Chains A and B, each alone.
Chain A
Amino acid sequence: EPEVTQTPSHQVTQMGQEVILRCVPISNHLYFYWYRQILGQKVEFLVSFYNNEISEKSEIFDDQFSVERPDGSNFTLKIRSTKLEDSAMYFCASSGLAGETQYFGPGTRLLVL
């Protein structure tokens, strides 16, 4: 069964450093998403991406964040200058078409020191 994969599973970084989280969506999916979950809190939407551009983003997704689909398989989330409060689980998801079921990856646990 096709699944969304994410790398790395864990990342530890120093405050102010740049991090790139990687995702490989399900191969025939066209819509891609990032969500995050701070420890003990709700899963929060960050951004959705379609046809090489952002289709929707939340207030959390400020200028420190960017997304990219650098090739035909990967989807990345970049945080330019990490802050302590960026520590969270980051989940990638994909769906075939707009509004279809979203399937999530296992997540990347980011710890900013």
Chain B
Amino acid sequence: DAKTTQPTSMDCAEGRAANLPCNHSTISGNEYVYWYRQIHSQGPQYIIHGLKNNETNEMASLIITEDRKSSTLILPHATLRDTAVYYCIVRVVGYGGATNKLIFGTGTLLAVQP
């Protein structure tokens, strides 16, 4: 089972920031938080990942709480094309013995409204 909890759905107005929360209260010290999204049954698209520091790239920002038990994905200026299911996944990143598989939950359906 997925080790994360996300709201089933969220709405966001076009042009506004979309803040998608994720709870991962059982996260281990060597587990990263990954975010992917899936637009209408297309292949999951990698967005961003982080361990404990906040991260930003051209797509989004990732804010991880100090205790690492939750995080928020921020899309700074949502567009209609950002309508998708967003998955928060925790996984070990390393070598030797760690499983590499991604365990997807049901994610959050973000609907960006015009």
Q: Is the CB of B106 within 8 A of A99?
A: no
Quick one: closest A residue to B92, CB to CB? A99
Please indicate the chain A residues that have their CB under 8 angstroms from the CB of B87 in the complex.
43
Quick one: closest A residue to B44, CB to CB? A104
Binding site for B on A (CB under 8 A): 4, 31, 33, 35, 37, 42-45, 48, 55-56, 58, 89, 91, 93, 95, 97-107, 109
A93–B99 alpha-carbon span in the complex (Å): 15
Once A37-B41, A102-B46, A104-B45 are accepted as A-B contacts, the answer to whether A45 and B103 lie under 8 Å apart by CB is: yes
* Cβ of B102 under 8 Å from chain A: yes
Closest 5 CB pairs of A and B: A104-B43, A45-B101, A43-B104, A99-B93, A104-B44
Contact with A along B39-76 (1 / 0, CB 8 A): 00111111001000000000000000000000000000
Please indicate the chain A residues that have their CB under 8 angstroms from the CB of B104 in the complex.
42-44
Count class of interface residues, chain B? 20 to 34
The 19 sampled A-B contact pairs (Cβ below 8 Å) are A4-B43, A43-B38, A43-B104, A45-B101, A45-B103, A48-B100, A56-B101, A89-B41, A91-B44, A93-B43, A93-B102, A95-B100, A99-B92, A101-B49, A104-B44, A105-B43, A106-B43, A107-B43, A109-B41
A11–B102 alpha-carbon span in the complex (Å): 25
Q: Is the CB of B46 within 8 A of A101?
A: yes
A91–B41 alpha-carbon span in the complex (Å): 10
Q: Is the CB of B42 within 8 A of A103?
A: no
A97–B95 alpha-carbon span in the complex (Å): 9
A99–B31 alpha-carbon span in the complex (Å): 11
Once A33-B101, A45-B102 are accepted as A-B contacts, the answer to whether A98 and B95 lie under 8 Å apart by CB is: yes
A103–B46 alpha-carbon span in the complex (Å): 7
A56–B101 alpha-carbon span in the complex (Å): 8
Q: Is the CB of B44 within 8 A of A43?
A: yes
